[in-house]
């Protein structure tokens, strides 16, 4: 089980949760029933920044989902960050998903590559190459290369990444956060066998995306 210093609400959300709750309480005191829209906003912000602990699968040779959401891509393509052919699996997160990002494998971070870009709908394929994004190239404990890319979405305006090259990640470790709707792309060795298909709903850490 992963434990964080913010076991229920992500630390990235504390200012937003505090502000919206304070506004809702203030309007309730001074305007009564007119406060309902403010409470709706406060509840939405509270659920968006939830960050529950997750159980990490112990099975060897697996790649776990780095995010909650829905699978929108499973295909062979080119990994532009590690310059290789790869199996690409993409997870689209809507505004109701948990937006904390977790490491898909045990491994060492070889590089962190940030690219400014557009903010088109993250559900579209072109978001992977046109939107603002941050890529981790990881050498897994098995020696395989795994690339994990945070991609901003239509509403998202901030990608947060807390790790650096040379750091060693543990499978399921929390390493970043994307605010308000986005996606995460995973590039795996060509021999990896996908365990999901397009349309599947996945949970960060708990869902196995592929095996190698």
Say how far apart CA 202 and CA 210 lie, in whole Å. 12
Domain spanning 62-211 has what CATH number? 2.70.70.10
Q: Domain extents for the chain?
A: 11-48, 62-211
Q: How far apart are CA 132 and CA 155, in angstroms?
A: 12
Residue 83 burial class via C-beta count within 10 angstroms: exposed 0-12, middle 13-18, buried 19 and up: exposed
Task: Convert the pLDDT of each residue in 24-33 to its tens digit.
Answer: 999 999 888 8
More confident residue, 129 or 5: 129
- The pLDDT tens digits of the residues spanning 67-113 come to 999 999 999 999 999 999 999 999 998 888 888 899 999 999 999 99
Any idea which residues carry the catalytic annotation? 182
Q: What is the mean pLDDT of residues 12-16?
A: 80
Average pLDDT score over residue span 54-67: 92
Answer whether 104's CB lies under 8 Å from 146's CB.
yes
What stretch of H or E contains 129?
A: helix 127-130
- Average pLDDT across the chain, whole number: 87
Radius of gyration over every alpha carbon of the chain, rounded to an integer in angstroms: 18
Q: What's the pTM value of the predicted model, to 2 decimals?
A: 0.82
């Amino acid at each position: 089980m992963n434990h964080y210093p913010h076991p229920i609400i992500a630390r990235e959300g504390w200012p937003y949760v505090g502000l919206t709750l304070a506004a809702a309480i203030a309007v309730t005191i001074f305007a009564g029933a007119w406060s309902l829209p403010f409470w709706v906003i406060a509840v939405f912000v509270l659920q968006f920044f939830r960050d529950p602990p997750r159980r990490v699968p112990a099975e060897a040779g697996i790649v776990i989902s780095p995010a909650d959401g829905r699978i929108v891509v499973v295909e062979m393509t080119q990994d532009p960050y590690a310059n290789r052919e790869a199996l690409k699996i993409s997870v689209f997160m809507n505004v109701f998903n948990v937006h904390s990002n977790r490491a898909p494998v045990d491994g060492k971070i070889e590089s962190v590559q940030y690219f400014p870009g557009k903010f088109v709908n993250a559900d579209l394929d072109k978001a992977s190459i046109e939107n603002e994004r941050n890529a981790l190239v990881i050498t897994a404990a098995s020696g395989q290369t795994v690339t994990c890319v945070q991609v901003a979405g239509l509403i998202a305006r901030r990608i947060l990444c807390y790790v650096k090259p040379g750091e060693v990640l543990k499978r399921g470790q929390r390493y970043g956060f994307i605010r308000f709707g986005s996606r995460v792309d995973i590039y795996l060795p060509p021999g990896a066998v996908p365990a999901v298909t397009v349309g599947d709903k996945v949970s960060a850490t708990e869902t196995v995306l592929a095996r190698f």
